[in-house]
Structure 1
């Protein structure tokens, strides 16, 4: 019998379950078992990746937390249970701390007076840290209270202030016999209620004044919205907890304080509809009077006034009191902000005047890479939109310096101009692969389509908070405000869908339709491939290798990672290197000068579209660039050159181990890279096998009809089930290779 059963339960919310199980696997404990009550397929898949050490209990999608906890506990064989939600985490060594402390309690209980009622400790309380979508591992306020109680087991009535601890099941471990005796009272989807009930039913409790849990609060805007009436459940929770302790003076006093605090905060802090607010206030007032302990003293100051008005049931007086406070605060804020608002900008005036006009249902705005021009997923969507819905007028946002590079006849607006803001204000559709400016208002009738511009290997969005070298002062509050405007988010594979939900937590609809820019990899023919190579100057019969490294956030500039002259020389006369980077050596003495003149190195750093480079190349060499996910659609060889993988993984953060899940061959030094090509390993059977697995995972929805699906779903409003289905990967035919195109 293990000392501790760690019961992980719930759905794989925003992908956090994998990290939790990885951390448990990294610090195994012989005296603990891990049981995963996995809700839904994604959680089951993540959990089964850690079997057989982990016991997996698969549960249907939608199973509630209480039912999941019970299902996991039913399989437990340990003496103590620790319930850990799948979205949360455990600090390194936490299970060992809990196991050792509970073993100590068991030993003490074994020496207790025989037959003493309630002698055993039933609940062990733990300290924790809190993580939100904006902060990481913030210490709780519970530590002082836990330290003040000490290590001896005692009854709750002797330390009723323990009820003030954050009400989580994760910051308490339960003796298995206690759980089974009180499972019915603890089985509720309301976790705070279950956590408090565990304390109220315990014979004795003990404390561990060390952090052994990490509670993660998901962004509310990424979760299904609650109905206003759901706030009534808060009153029911407190009354349910207060009922059994009517005669337990100390516990009742603490629970009453907690109830009043929660009721006042909810009423004051949430903008409830008037009818709901009145009913909430009425029920809260009744509860405040019904459960008020004898000789109870209200808090001093403003909080005491609020309590008095609530007990009195004086809804109108309370609202007047709130209004007076708001007026006072608003006056102070106005004084602070007036200095910043001297002289309203003409742009703002024009934009806000335009917002009063009706939304034009036949106007669509497109943007790519911060006004760079017609490119990427927006370009592919725009092309398909012109074909399927030519009545919708398209306007591109393009910087002044890039306007001259637009295809002839492209209607466009330059940022900052009057027409720019008027167009953004009145367009029905706003499509971008990055984000529109913060000042853009999301109108109820407008649709914002976020296409992204790659599959994430590196950490993105809110996940960058833990990697300051990557974030570099990123305004996360502004980021959240931007993503809240999204209606749709385009995805190329399930991995991206899940990581976008995690990195950009909001209520948009994920379009698992594929990346429109990758359609060309399935719709191009041999003539298209030959024409792309001809435009680049690649002579017939030559092997073209595209080298496309990514940017390093931890480097001030671009650092050459390869000696291109030596590499080109080793690859031989029949190989052409297409280099998409900005670090060519200058001067006549450069060894690259002759290679450039001979056509053996071609600078494609500014060449667009990048999809054409992919069609022209026989193989790709990259490091951590998302181009590998797109190029994999072509089913051509890919070599990863990862000379600084450990540094990149640590400083930038990654979502999976590319060294273990690569798309072909991996080189860690230039010598290894050269040998991969010299030996033919770049296109051998093992490389093809790795590439096939990579394609199945990351080219999941890319089949040549992604743009059509997006246009029909977003711009034409067609239902999901009427869209062209995704073609299975084994039935797709990529564009011919350069060798096939010249055969």
Structure 2
């Protein structure tokens, strides 16, 4: 699938042949009114909004008679309550998708193809608010070319009108299909307390006497190795960070799931904790006292916590040229374009000034949060309930 994704002629063949075959098979396969298919990040994880919806759904007796199925690249790596698991990109996966009464995902179910079951309600939560260019706004020269498939979603959740307006246009989805209720994955950010923070810090194994900085840069899809792995080489010397701020802070390093390797970054267990493989991003946000990122949609989610955020945009001009953004994130937050500037801001930190900027950002871009899971479940049930 990695090869198909990044070699355009091969993807074109895959798309037309695969879509044609599945759209014939769907008239042979009998739909099941009580089957719901879940998939997160294309089968990579058991997390995010689909997991939040699933774990509430299995507590809801209205769904007791529903068959709940999760799709993963490697099902043996996961343990889930109640439901069964299948492997993505298998015949069983595509047959299950065609039979399903409902799809719940935060990305796409179709695996780069164009098909939908005859009786399928497609509920998509997506996985973030757009800051970088998306869909048809992405340059034709970008290596991460878009899928040819039409978005056949019935409902897509959003955190704001800003988000819904952009996704409607770039994914060619009717604006009325957007449910501006927030993202289910962010509900627990709205209810996080000091006690929650300390519990999670202990769970991760962090010292309770230090402030925690979460450094979460996004990936650069235009920087890949010969095996199509994303790479990232931020100009960072964490030894210098430790000298300047190590008495007060520790660092949680969280790179995007697209990034296969972290280059030029030395990690130690006393100051820098590499938590890139930690399964629950919300835990890391709640455990931290401050966020540093670049062009990641994590800013929108983290703003719900109402904690300081800094922007380290060391390659802003290159990123604008190669990927593009909807607005200049540097105008919203303190930070810098060099490591020295960033460390100076952290050392001379103005907490109240930073929170003022965070609140302004949240008011602009995150209109709804806190109850998205319950709203999503009600919406799904209303649309698929068995008579």
| Both structures adopt the same fold (TM-score exceeding 0.5) | yes
Output one character per residue of 1:290-310: Cα deviation in whole Å (capped at 9) or x when no partner: xxxxxxxxxxxxxxxxxxxxx
Contact 1:467–1:653 (Cα < 8 Å) also in 2:
no
Q: Using the TM superposition, give the Cα deviation of residue 689 of structure 1 relative to its aligned residue in structure 2, in angstroms.
A: 1.3
Say whether residues 1:516 and 2:188 are aligned partners.
Answer: no
Say whether residues 1:646 and 2:314 are aligned partners.
Answer: no
Distance 1:473 1:573 in 2: 41
Distance 1:417 1:494 in 2: 37
Aligned to 1:492: 159
Q: Tell which deviates more after alignment, 496-505 or 432-441.
A: 432-441
Q: Using the TM superposition, give the Cα deviation of residue 390 of structure 1 relative to its aligned residue in structure 2, in angstroms.
A: 2.8
Q: Using the TM superposition, give the Cα deviation of residue 641 of structure 1 relative to its aligned residue in structure 2, in angstroms.
A: 0.6
Say whether residues 1:426 and 2:118 are aligned partners.
Answer: no
In terms of fraction of residues, the more helix-rich structure is 1
Q: How many residues align?
A: 354
Aligned to 1:532: 200
Secondary structure at the counterpart of residue 708 of structure 1: helix
Contact 2:38–2:69 (Cα < 8 Å) also in 1:
yes
Q: Using the TM superposition, give the Cα deviation of residue 714 of structure 1 relative to its aligned residue in structure 2, in angstroms.
A: 2.5
Say whether residues 1:602 and 2:268 are aligned partners.
Answer: no
**Change in 2 beyond 3 A, CA 1:651/1:430:** same
Output one character per residue of 1:12-33: Cα deviation in whole Å (capped at 9) or x when no partner: xxxxxxxxxxxxxxxxxxxxxx
Aligned to 2:355: 688
Say whether residues 1:411 and 2:84 are aligned partners.
Answer: yes
Aligned to 2:68: 394
Which structure 2 residues correspond to residues 277-676 of structure 1 after superposition, within 5 A? Answer: 355-388=27-60, 389-391=62-64, 392-400=66-74, 403-407=76-80, 409-436=82-109, 437-439=111-113, 441-464=115-138, 466=139, 468-469=141-142, 472=143, 474-475=145-146, 478-479=148-149, 481=150, 483=151, 485-507=152-174, 509-556=177-224, 557-581=231-255, 582-583=261-262, 592=266, 596-597=268-269, 599-660=270-331, 662=332, 664-676=333-345
Distance 1:675 1:374 in 2: 39
**Change in 2 beyond 3 A, CA 1:473/1:644:** closer
Distance 1:432 1:637 in 2: 30
**Change in 2 beyond 3 A, CA 1:439/1:457:** closer
Aligned to 1:328: none
Contact 2:160–2:182 (Cα < 8 Å) also in 1:
yes
Distance 1:393 1:523 in 2: 31
Output one character per residue of 1:198-232: Cα deviation in whole Å (capped at 9) or x when no partner: xxxxxxxxxxxxxxxxxxxxxxxxxxxxxxxxxxx
Distance 2:137 2:146 in 1: 13
Ranges of 4+ aligned residues in structure 1 off by more than 4 Å: 351-355
Distance 1:410 1:525 in 2: 31
**Change in 2 beyond 3 A, CA 1:403/1:467:** same
TM-score by length of 1: 0.45
Distance 2:34 2:323 in 1: 41
Q: Which has the larger radius of gyration?
A: 1
**Change in 2 beyond 3 A, CA 1:568/1:458:** same
Distance 2:159 2:106 in 1: 13
> Root-mean-square deviation (CA), in Å?
2.6
Output one character per residue of 1:660-714: Cα deviation in whole Å (capped at 9) or x when no partner: 2x1x313121111111111123x2x221211111111222111x21011111123
Distance 2:43 2:85 in 1: 10
TM-score by length of 2: 0.84
Distance 1:649 1:674 in 2: 24
Which structure 2 residues correspond to residues 63-462 of structure 1 after superposition, within 5 A? Answer: 355-388=27-60, 389-391=62-64, 392-400=66-74, 403-407=76-80, 409-436=82-109, 437-439=111-113, 441-462=115-136
Q: Using the TM superposition, give the Cα deviation of residue 354 of structure 1 relative to its aligned residue in structure 2, in angstroms.
A: 6.2
Distance 2:249 2:135 in 1: 39
Contact 1:573–1:600 (Cα < 8 Å) also in 2:
no
Q: Using the TM superposition, give the Cα deviation of residue 353 of structure 1 relative to its aligned residue in structure 2, in angstroms.
A: 5.1
Output one character per residue of 1:439-485: Cα deviation in whole Å (capped at 9) or x when no partner: 46323421111211111011000011x3523xx26255x14x2x1x1
Distance 1:415 1:648 in 2: 32
Contact 1:373–1:396 (Cα < 8 Å) also in 2:
no
Contact 1:467–1:651 (Cα < 8 Å) also in 2:
no
Question: Structure 1: 5+ residue runs without aligned partners?
Answer: 1-339, 587-591, 719-743
Contact 1:433–1:450 (Cα < 8 Å) also in 2:
yes
Q: Using the TM superposition, give the Cα deviation of residue 510 of structure 1 relative to its aligned residue in structure 2, in angstroms.
A: 0.5
Secondary structure at the counterpart of residue 366 of structure 1: strand
Q: Using the TM superposition, give the Cα deviation of residue 408 of structure 1 relative to its aligned residue in structure 2, in angstroms.
A: 5.4
Aligned to 1:697: 364
Contact 1:578–1:602 (Cα < 8 Å) also in 2:
yes
Secondary structure at the counterpart of residue 396 of structure 1: strand
